[in-house]
A and B are shown apart, each in its own frame.
Chain A
Amino acid sequence: MAVVLGMRKRQTQTTLAKRKQPSLCSSEDSNEDLQAVFRRHFEAQFKPLDKKPAPKPQEQPQISDLEDGEEEEEEEEEDWAGLSPSPEPAVEIIEHVTTTTSTRASKSELKAFHSSKPPSLLPTLSLSTSNPPSKADEDDTTEAQNLKNDLALQRLLSESHLLSSLSTSTSLDLSLTGRHRHKSTDLRLLTLGARSSLTDPLAQKMPMAMRRGILGKQAERESKRRKEARENGVILERAVGGSAKKRRERRERGVGAPTVGRFKGGTLSLSRRDVASITGAAQGGKGRRKGKGRKR
């Protein structure tokens, strides 16, 4: 009579299925009849299964069956009823088993689900094409990646002056919108060799009087800014543009005249500086050339 405790087999799905009320099935057949139908169909096509079919609920396991100690699978309908012949109310065992881990659907499946078009048989043929795109997700350092990053960096640097004007906005992304996007496109086109800028108003055609007015106003504003800064002691950046223009306006010396020295009375007189420039003597620092190298 010693019952081997703890050796009760777990209730499996089929025995649990019998516990559920038959009214849950959609058809009039009960669950075990459905299982029996499928089993028969299966066995008709293939070899009969090794396992015995699950017994009907009315059968009670005999105590003599347990004597050999090993219990047959799916043989036990309910808990061992004990020695008393009157069956106690069956204890319902509820199993919480996670049968499978939920597999995430592939990207194409998700796309097919979210698109409102009916599915067609064609997508199942393209199984092989789904593998390569997964490689692109990795952050590997291929040449293409480097080039892409370089390009992005160059663009960022050249458009940084536009971004700085956007710094008032709270967004963190670096995408330009609106006027700044047009400006950045224009900048890229100019570097690629466009003739004139599309966004810069001074590059467009306009009446001479208007252009002169704009430029004059710009010059006036700049000079005012420098004057005020000098008066208030504010140090500004070095002025650009004035010396570059002056440098170009060198005096024309005549057609056949020599570039260094004075030619008078058949004699070419070279000063010390001329000789130094011919021999290419060691140049002084930038500060020494204050006079912009004007010939003496």
Chain B
Amino acid sequence: MTDSKTAPPPLRFTGHKYLINRLIFSTLTGRAIRISGIRSSSPTHPGLLPHEVSFLRLLDSVTNGSQIEFSYTGTTVVYRPGLIIGSAAGYGAGSGGVVKHELPKECPRGVSWFLIPLCLLAPFAKGQVNVLFTGPGVITSATENGDVSVDTVLRSILPLYSNFGIMTDKIELRILRRSNAGPTGKGGGGEVQLIFGHQVRLPKTIHLLNPGRVKKISGVAYSIGVAGANNARMIEAARGVLNQFKVETYIFSAVSSAPLIPMDRGGEKKKIGIGFGISLVAESSTGAYFSADVVSPPSGGAPPEDLGRRCAFQLMESVSQGGYVSTVAAPTMLTLMAMGSEDVGRLQLGRDVIGSEEIISLARDLKAFGASGWGLRDADSGCKGDIVVSIVGKGVGNVGRKI
């Protein structure tokens, strides 16, 4: 079916930016894409970086029948998507039905960079998605280049799936081993397993217009390979800022030893991914989530009090931006709305959230894939300046579950 003569030509894109978004849309809609000019002007690292190639491999193991072609120079990729299978035994998974995905040791992005798109694909899979991220490149903490920590994904992005009729009871995100980024900001020895057990035919249409008021703040402070007292200091600093709001705050503390990864030569192992960080999530009375993530720099030198205060301020800023979702979760929500039934769904976003480059390019890419345009209007309630986005779904949904 993918090689039939009536297959439409691949959509053309350029540049390495928003590569993941385009790959996800291609997989969800079934249209082939061709991305050219990937870092073609870079003398040292033209083409895709190892972690991007790793993501393509992950797509390959979760789908059946997808074809990936690289050009000779590596700066052009043609991706013909297949069906999203999930972790069915025999296709790419072992006998237990777990897809074991190893991240390369030069990976500078956190594992949430892989997790968030995978969670987007998982409800549309044919079977359960059970992926274990392992290897010398798994960073479970936040990173300096803007990735959030796995705790934030678990506590502020995954609960939003329940709005679409995807039962969060069947979703599990286990952090088997924690790790910060390595000394150069690359690599880590963590281990994370995602079990996404609920597949739907079509996500429900949502109308989320009222952000509500923040009623609970929870968070996780983690220390890996360093003293657990850092957690207490970060928590106290964060509480010192957040106490003025008189909201119930629970910040949990996770201490673990430094993970080991095998060295290049021999069977020796070395410690990697030492550091600490804090992740805060604010939950509102209507089920909106706002998050903040701060991590210690790999070179060190940041006292934990500074990190705690910074994270609290970041959380306040995220809440002040308004809307029902923050910048981290907005792509997920908008994509799921666009893949829903042919009905108008509405979502309230802050002005700064929707006015960012990422969301605008997301809208443009969706339009290129054949989705309808978005309707924007000013919001009646909530923060001043909020915008309500109206999206008509494509109606394609889960092809694997079509009867």
Residues on A lying within 8 angstroms of B by beta carbon are 13, 20, 24-27, 34, 37-38, 98-100, 102, 105, 109, 113, 116-121, 124
Q: List 22 A-B contacts (CB under 8 A).
A: A25-B310, A26-B314, A37-B320, A38-B316, A98-B236, A99-B239, A100-B243, A102-B235, A105-B250, A113-B252, A116-B174, A117-B168, A118-B159, A118-B161, A119-B159, A120-B159, A120-B162, A120-B168, A120-B169, A121-B159, A121-B162, A121-B287
* A122→B77 CA distance, assembly (Å): 45
B317 at interface, CB cutoff 8 A: yes
Residues on B lying within 8 angstroms of A by beta carbon are 154-155, 158-159, 161-162, 168-169, 171-175, 216, 218, 220, 235-236, 239-240, 243, 250, 252, 283, 287, 306, 309-310, 313-314, 316-317, 320
**In the complex, what's the smallest C-beta–C-beta distance from A108 to chain B, in angstroms?**
11
* A34→B321 CA distance, assembly (Å): 13
Other-chain residue from A26, A38, A118 in contact with B154 (beta carbon distance below 8 A):
A118
* Centre residue among A118, A119, A124 by max chain B CB count within 10 A: A118
* A102→B171 CA distance, assembly (Å): 31
| A99 and B243 contact, CB distance less than 8 A | yes
* A28→B342 CA distance, assembly (Å): 41
Other-chain residue from A27, A37, A117 in contact with B169 (beta carbon distance below 8 A):
A117
A-B contacts at CB below 8 angstroms, number = 63
**In the complex, what's the smallest C-beta–C-beta distance from B262 to chain A, in angstroms?**
26
Known: A34-B313, A109-B250, A120-B169. 14 other contacts (CB 8 A): A25-B310, A25-B313, A26-B313, A27-B313, A37-B320, A38-B316, A99-B243, A105-B250, A116-B172, A117-B171, A117-B172, A117-B173, A120-B159, A120-B162
The residue on B at minimum CB distance from A95 is: B240
| A24 and B154 contact, CB distance less than 8 A | no
| A100 and B239 contact, CB distance less than 8 A | yes
| B155 and A116 contact, CB distance less than 8 A | no
The residue on B at minimum CB distance from A109 is: B250
| B306 and A24 contact, CB distance less than 8 A | yes
Q: Provide the residues of chain A in CB contact with B243, threshold 8 Å.
A: 99-100
**In the complex, what's the smallest C-beta–C-beta distance from A3 to chain B, in angstroms?**
31
* A102→B236 CA distance, assembly (Å): 9
The residue on B at minimum CB distance from A25 is: B313
**In the complex, what's the smallest C-beta–C-beta distance from B319 to chain A, in angstroms?**
11
* A116→B162 CA distance, assembly (Å): 16
**In the complex, what's the smallest C-beta–C-beta distance from A120 to chain B, in angstroms?**
5
The 5 closest A-B pairs by CB, nearest first: A118-B158, A116-B174, A26-B314, A118-B159, A118-B168
